[in-house]
Amino acid sequence: MSNLSIYVENMRQCIEEKRLTENEIVRAIYLDLGRRFSFDLEFCFGNSKNRKKIYNRAILKKEDIEEYLKKNKAICRSLAYTVEYILKELGINIITVTMAEDDSTCPHVHNIVIPKEGESYIIDLQQDLKEIQSHSFPKSFGLSTIPRKASSYDKI
């Protein structure tokens, strides 16, 4: 049995024991992965060729996710696909998306959770890694998918 399969099975047992709701499952996985992973500094400080290589390698294949769990280093794309894979294995409806207005060579990737009940919401684990690891409140969990109108306070 692979580390990924063991992880999913352990989380499944925890969910059953604690009788977690769908949103509690998402939050538990989000926080647990946030404690495990760190941002890949090779991507952060690498040249554009190396960044593109790391970005393109971060795709959704079980073997790749297994490797990310082993190394505990990831970027937005690999984090989003890891979260998606694990939550789908646990029966959660989730998608991975690229920000529409991001036309860079390595566009930012995050997830949208589509619960059985209630509104869809955004989760962005890469953005919350430092908050989770410093035991602060995650700022990019549960964000609305509905764009808000700019207020007069936004125009400074």
- For 122-146, the pLDDT digits (tens) are 999 999 999 999 999 999 998 888 8
Going by C-alpha positions, the residue among 89, 62, 75, 86 that lies closest to residue 125 is 75
Q: Which domains does the chain possess? A: 3-147 (3.30.2140.20)
Q: pLDDT of 15-67, one tens digit each? A: 999 999 999 999 999 999 999 998 888 787 777 887 777 777 666 677 778 87
Burial class of residue 104, CB neighbours in 10 A (0-12, 13-18, 19+): exposed
DSSP state letters, 112-150: EE--SSS--EEE-HHHHHHHHHTTPPPSSEEEESSPPPP
Pairing outcome for strands 38-39 and 73-74? parallel
For 85, residues 6+ apart whose C-beta sits below 8 A from its C-beta are 4, 60, 62, 65
| Residue 69 backbone phi and psi in degrees, to 5 | -65, -35
**pLDDT number for residue 1:** 62
* Residue type (1 letter), 7: Y
Poorest-pLDDT segment among 3-12, 70-79, 107-116: 70-79
Q: Is 68 helix (H, G, I), strand (E, B) or coil?
A: helix
